[in-house]
Copies of this chain bind each other. A is one copy, B any other.
Amino acid sequence: MTGSTPVSDGTTAKVRAAMDELGYRPNGAARALVHGQQPIVGVIAPDTAAYGRSRMLTEIEDRARASGYVVAIAILDPADADGVSAAVEVLLSQPIVGVVVLDYNSYDTVRLHSKLGAIPIATVTNGADADADVAHVLVDDRAAARAVVDHLLDLGHRTVHYVSVPYYGGRSHPRELGWREALDARGIVPPGPVASDWTVDSALMAGAVLAADAEVTAVFCPNDEIAFSVMRSMHDAGRRVPQDVSVAGLDDHPLAASWVPSLTTYRLDWGWAGRSALELLIDADVASTADARPANMLLPRESTSAPLV
């Protein structure tokens, strides 16, 4: 069956026939015992419903299955350190091949555990905590944010406001850094960001705060979902998008083009990121991913325009 030893055709056929007749299926656990490893890769991520992660998960699973691996998933709140530890324990109770981490925040926690168990990990990072010790795929959030803010500035806005979201260890999100960089480059002092989290309700409130400020003519949101809610709040406050306020997001969510007005955003190739991270784990031939670099791009749409004079 394994093909490791020459066997006559007749015998092979007889064995195969018996297998079919009995519905025989090799026991993966026994196999794993011998090989010392299960053909399983773990994925750890918070909230896989968010657009980027859901894309990555889909592509990881697809790529893994193509190579005969099963994907085991743990979805957790990275803030819950105990929960993360427990989940890692459950995952590592199987002699799995490695773990793909789709969350920057729980990154350190997982790395800790991975060291304990010597389990390989690969992570998708936006650069903030890239670490030469850990295999990672880089998604350049900062450059993407800069491109969006530059677009807004190029349209003639004097400044661009930002909705901030919590980030790893109290640091600034790379998208926030990109926003600051773009303003700094033109000698503009960044206005104070309006705080939000990743929920719809919180984003609606942040949007209301921005809508109430007559100075605001352009808003950059850290992702498209937040931008949708901000546009809603602008509408509720009677401020037209883009005539009164331009709003831009980041990711290119599937609904971004359907929204009224359609959302200006920046496409990030999350599918590529997920796939590449997985290959880091199961492929020796890592270099092959280098030339598959994604075509990220700015997508100007209806939600942004020059400010009214």
Contact = CB atoms under 8 A, between A and B. Distances in A.
Interface of A: 23, 25-33, 38-40, 47-49, 51, 54-55, 57-58, 61-62, 65, 68-75, 86-87, 90-95, 116-117, 200, 204, 225, 228-229, 231-232, 235, 254-255, 257-260, 262
A47 B86 CA distance: 28
A87 B107 CA distance: 29
Contacts of A49: 51, 54-55, 58, 254
B40 A48 contact: no
Contacts of A39: 90, 93
Given A228-B258, A232-B260, A255-B225, A93 B25 contact: yes
A236 to B, nearest CB: 9
Copies, count: 2
**When A and B form their complex, which 3 residue pairs have the shortest distance between CB atoms, in order from nearest?**
A29-B32, A28-B94, A49-B54
Given A255-B228, A258-B228, A65 B90 contact: yes
11 contacts: A29-B32, A32-B32, A40-B72, A65-B74, A65-B90, A72-B73, A200-B254, A200-B258, A204-B258, A232-B259, A255-B255
A39 B204 CA distance: 42
Contact of A23 (B25, B75, B117, B200): B117
A74 B48 contact: no
Nearest to A70: B72
Contacts of A235: 260
Contacts of A231: 258, 260
A257 B54 contact: no
B29 A257 contact: no
B75 A72 contact: no
Contacts of A229: 258
A26 to B, nearest CB: 7
A90 B70 contact: yes
Contacts of A225: 254-255
Contacts of A200: 254-255, 257-258
Contact of A25 (B72, B92, B262): B92
Given A29-B30, A62-B75, A70-B91, 19 more contacts: A26-B93, A27-B33, A29-B32, A29-B33, A31-B93, A48-B58, A49-B51, A49-B54, A49-B55, A54-B54, A61-B73, A61-B74, A61-B75, A70-B72, A71-B72, A73-B73, A229-B258, A231-B258, A232-B258
Contacts of A33: 27, 29-30, 33
A58 B29 contact: no
B232 A95 contact: no
Contacts of A47: 58
